[in-house]
Amino acid sequence: MADDQRMQPDERAEERTEERVEQVTEQVAEHTNGHGTERFPDSTQQTERATEKTEHTSKFPASHPKTARIYLFKTAHILLSISLCIFLLTCGLFVCMNPHVTRACSRASIEKVAAKDAIQHNRMFTQYELVYMAGELRDYSFGAHNKKRLLYAQLKINAAQGRNINAKVRSALADTYNTHKAIKSMIKHANASFRKHTIMQQAPATITKFDERFFITQAALTHLDDVYALGVIARNVSIASAVVSLALVALLFFMNQRVYLGRALKHAGIVTLVLLACGILASLFNFTDFFTQFHEVLFPQGNWSFSADSLLISALPEAFWQKLALIWGTTSALSAIVCFLLGFALTRRRKQL
């Protein structure tokens, strides 16, 4: 009896083993085609399936959402670097457009020209009148762009010198500034307003020619119109680049991508400083050639050259543009340095964390 009980566990183990063997045999039979060969696809089918799997993996990688975010941040970093660089290069323009800056630079440059070269200095007007005219030229080129106001300014400074205008010149002024109905009243008002408060330095004279020493001629007016159009484009580009930069900064900041934000700030600052350094070096060697090439590129029509004693050059001499270029470059350089330091601080803080 005891022997039968001992044999029962052994028999059960054998039965389990046999059942396991039968299960394995059935599984092998399922994977065969009855001839002892396995039913695996041929090599062509395997290749096609592998190709499809590879294409599917390349189009939709396992880390697709994360990769898309990285591409988004890299694109935002590149766009931010470009837009910031454009804004940094053009931000100095807003400072130069300020009327107080224009008058201050004109006053200093006119005094410099008068002290350095008395021949080139326009003796037709006083320094005060030329500075006043410089402000009006700035307003026409970068401000209200009002022809009648510009003409009235010319009539006032000529009236202050006691100059009369004959009928031929009046007709030329009316045609140039399109003020046929208002020309007489404007001249009368200019004479009345300035002669009351001005001590005449010379006997009253009559202007018999539409001369660029006394007026802004049609050629100069056309050039100022071109400057105004270019200024509008530069202003719009600067504002657009500022808006794009703010949007991208907000995106990277709130998405907690300060590394990309810091890199963009640093790259924009470095590129801006390099471009400014190239411009400064070119202007230091010969500002006249630099100024000429600058005008040849921006104004290929060639209507920007005037005589040294013309009213336009007398109010805005070359020294005036040197000072404006210095202000523009200084403003952009300081902005670029601040931008670089902010980017350096962001990337350094991220590395420490």
Please list the pLDDT of the chain residue by residue as tens digits (353 residues). Answer: 445 555 455 566 666 666 665 665 666 555 555 444 444 445 455 545 544 444 444 444 544 566 777 788 888 889 999 999 999 999 888 888 888 888 888 888 887 776 665 544 456 788 888 889 898 999 998 888 888 888 888 888 888 877 778 888 888 888 888 877 777 777 777 766 555 544 444 455 667 677 888 888 888 888 999 999 998 999 999 999 999 999 998 888 888 888 888 888 999 999 999 999 988 888 888 888 888 888 888 888 878 888 888 888 888 888 889 889 899 999 999 999 999 999 888 887 655 54
pTM for the predicted model, two decimal places: 0.71
From the CB of residue 118, how many other CB atoms can be counted at a distance below 10 Å? 9
- Domain spans of the chain? 69-352
pLDDT score of 40:
45
Tokens 């006032």: give the residue. Answer: 156
b/e map 16-30, b = 16+ CB within 10 Å: eeeeeeeeeeeeeee
CB atoms within 10 A of CB 227: 17
The per-residue pLDDT for 94 is 86
Instruction: Give the residue from 67, 86, 69 showing the smallest Cα distance to 264.
Output: 86
What per-residue confidence (pLDDT) applies to 2? 47
Q: Which DSSP state fits 113?
A: H
Predicted pLDDT of residue 55: 44
> Rounded to whole angstroms, what are the CA distances from 42 to 39, 50, 153, 299?
9, 12, 94, 73
